[in-house]
């Protein structure tokens, strides 16, 4: 006799069974009209058609069942590149990347010198992630070590899967934000010992971008990555044409932008490069070879006028692509709105982005590329139960459109184009119901 699960979630659901880029978008997922996901000790212990799970022995009298109608259960979203210190720069008017950084973003990040301010915005930011159905994040903090420490602490309180770290930047930023490479190296070591593989946290070694690092600093980043090879490396790459030009003015010894990071051993399978819009064929080949990830952040790219990322071209090269908000240049923390922007960006490049690609790059595919698929990203037995229940009727207009759906892909497409934070009916983190019907259950 099986031990009954503590809780079960019932409703329509999808689970990924293949990579849509390989199997084709129509063959990559399984749709259950009436699914049941049985959860025990934070993990999924059974998933499938509700009648089968009900008969499996995992559902007993003591099992609490949450039943969602007019909804779709999907894996919790993974935001593969975002900045928690940038709450104050969401909707900052009128600039492109380099002026936006100087005029808005660096001053906003300086405010995090104040611990209580950093704590306040970390809590606000994480709550906003959850309200949008995001259950795992790959995040920047800023140069102050406490800014990373506080984010890890706040994420640990809600048991959220996170990778983050303190940000190396020793050049061309305001003095109050610059930190010497040696101090940043020591900070990172301290934080790695404290947080790497602590609960659901992992440490990322983060360099803001080549434009704000000296050669000495990049040497230290290299050394740190060699000492801790299983920590992610996370940075920005090739977002804006002025940035690309400046990178090569600062590092003329390298043949292209990616070569700067490569010189310091930073193009690896656990490297995450935000943006990657203006890459040459050769750079794409080298990214495909290393297995590094591009974090595609279309809302940010549109907002800053950075350019049109070519999802099809990059995917055809075999480069891994995850979706990301890049909040605050991306002005919201919604992965659904990110998918909407990705669709519109792809349309302008002559490619119609199928919803299977968009959802995969925000859930199972993102987890696979990050090496997190042993933990999250799908509705599978053994995985941590990070789930989002999407409301099929969050607005009158959406209810009207959803009523006309003929397939699961129609429904996914409507969610990705029309959805936002109002779409989140409920969120489970590691099996715990943390958000339901507009209310956060933080204690």
Binding site for ligand GUN (CB under 6 A): 83, 97, 101, 105, 208-209, 236, 239, 300, 326, 329
CB of 236 to ligand GUN, least distance (A): 4
CB of 83 to Zn ion, least distance (A): 6
Q: What is the DSSP letter of 422?
A: G
Q: DSSP of 159-225, one letter per residue?
A: T-EEEE--EE--SSS-TTT---HHHHHHHHHHHHHHHTTBTTEEEEEEE--GGG--HHHHHHHHHHH
Q: Is 187 in the site for Zn ion (CB under 5 A)?
A: no
Label residues 202-221 b or e (16+ Cβ within 10 Å = b): bbbbbbbbbbbbbeebbebb
- Whether the Cβ atoms of residue 293 and residue 271 lie closer than 8 Å to each other: yes
Q: Is 154 in the site for Zn ion (CB under 5 A)?
A: no
Q: Which does 239 bind (CB under 5 to 8 A by kind): Zn ion, ligand GUN, none?
A: ligand GUN
Q: What is the DSSP letter of 103?
A: I
CB of 277 to ligand GUN, least distance (A): 11
CB of 326 to Zn ion, least distance (A): 4
Report CA-CA distances (Å) from 59 to 73, 317, 393: 19, 46, 29
CB of 216 to ligand GUN, least distance (A): 19
Q: Is 326 in the site for Zn ion (CB under 5 A)?
A: yes
Q: Which does 425 bind (CB under 5 to 8 A by kind): ligand GUN, Zn ion, none?
A: none
CB of 193 to ligand GUN, least distance (A): 27
- Look at residues 257, 160, 148 and name the one whose alpha carbon lies nearest to residue 199: 160
- The stretch among 13-21, 49-57, 61-69, 319-327 that binds Zn ion (CB under 5 A) is 319-327
- The stretch among 167-175, 213-221, 323-331, 364-372 that binds Zn ion (CB under 5 A) is 323-331
Contacts of residue 50, defined as CB under 8 A and 6 or more positions apart, other chains included, come to 10, 32, 34, 35, 36
- Look at residues 340, 374, 377 and name the one whose alpha carbon lies nearest to residue 358: 340
Q: Which does 15 bind (CB under 5 to 8 A by kind): Zn ion, ligand GUN, none?
A: none
Would you say 236 or 354 has its CB closer to ligand GUN? 236
Q: Is 243 in the site for Zn ion (CB under 5 A)?
A: no
Q: Give the pairing type, strands 320-323 and 29-40.
A: unpaired
Q: Which does 105 bind (CB under 5 to 8 A by kind): Zn ion, ligand GUN, none?
A: ligand GUN
- Look at residues 377, 390, 299, 333 and name the one whose alpha carbon lies nearest to residue 126: 333
Q: Which does 208 bind (CB under 5 to 8 A by kind): ligand GUN, Zn ion, none?
A: ligand GUN
- Look at residues 76, 65, 1, 78 and name the one whose alpha carbon lies nearest to residue 35: 65
Q: Give the pairing type, strands 161-164 and 134-140.
A: parallel
Would you say 271 or 424 has its CB closer to Zn ion? 271
Would you say 37 or 287 has its CB closer to Zn ion? 287
Cα–Cα distance between 60 and 79 in angstroms, integer? Answer: 35
Would you say 59 or 292 has its CB closer to Zn ion? 292
Interface positions, 258-287, toward Zn ion (CB under 5 A): 274
Chain residues binding Zn ion by CB under 5 A are 274, 326
């Amino acid at each position: 006799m099986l031990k009954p699960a503590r809780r079960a979630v019932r409703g329509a659901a999808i689970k990924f069974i293949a990579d849509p880029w390989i199997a084709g978008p129509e063959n990559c997922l399984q749709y259950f009209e009436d699914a049941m996901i049985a959860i025990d000790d934070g993990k999924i212990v059974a998933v499938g058609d509700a009648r089968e799970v009900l008969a499996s022995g995992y559902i007993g009298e003591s099992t609490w069942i949450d039943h969602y109608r007019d909804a779709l259960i999907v894996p919790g979203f993974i935001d593969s590149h975002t900045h928690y210190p940038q709450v104050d720069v969401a909707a900052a008017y009128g600039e492109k990347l380099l002026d936006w950084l100087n005029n808005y973003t660096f001053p906003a990040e300086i405010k995090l010198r104040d611990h209580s301010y950093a704590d306040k915005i970390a809590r606000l930011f994480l709550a906003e992630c959850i309200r949008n159905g995001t259950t795992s994040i790959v995040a920047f903090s800023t140069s102050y070590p406490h800014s990373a420490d506080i984010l890890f602490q706040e994420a640990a309180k809600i048991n959220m899967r996170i990778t983050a770290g303190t940000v190396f930047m020793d050049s061309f930023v305001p003095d109050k934000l610059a930190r010497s490479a040696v101090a940043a190296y020591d900070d990172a070591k301290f934080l790695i010992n404290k947080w790497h593989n602590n609960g659901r946290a992992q440490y990322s070694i983060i360099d803001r971008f080549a434009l704000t690092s000296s050669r000495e600093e990049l040497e230290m980043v290299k050394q740190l990555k060699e000492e801790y090879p299983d920590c992610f490396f996370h940075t920005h790459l090739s977002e804006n044409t002025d940035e690309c030009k400046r990178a090569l003015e600062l590092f003329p010894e390298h043949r292209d932008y990616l070569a700067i990071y490569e010189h310091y051993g930073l193009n690896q399978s656990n490297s995450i490069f935000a943006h990657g819009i203006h890459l040459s064929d050769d750079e794409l080949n080298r990214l495909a070879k290393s297995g590094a990830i591009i974090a595609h952040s279309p809302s940010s790219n549109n907002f800053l006028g950075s350019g049109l990322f070519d999802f099809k071209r990059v995917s055809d090269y075999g480069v891994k692509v995850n979706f990301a908000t890049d909040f605050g240049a991306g002005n919201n923390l919604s992965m659904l709105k990110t998918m909407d922007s990705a669709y519109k960006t792809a349309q302008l490049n002559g490619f119609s982005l199928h919803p299977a690609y968009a959802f995969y790059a925000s859930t199972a595919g993102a987890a696979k590329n990050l090496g997190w698929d042993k933990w999250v990203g799908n509705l599978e037995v053994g995985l941590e139960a990070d789930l989002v229940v999407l409301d099929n009727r969050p607005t009158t207009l959406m209810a009207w459109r959803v009523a006309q759906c003929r397939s699961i892909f129609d429904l996914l497409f409507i969610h990705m184009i029309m959805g936002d934070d109002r779409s989140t009916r409920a969120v489970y983190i590691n099996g715990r119901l943390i958000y339901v019907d507009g209310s956060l259950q933080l204690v």
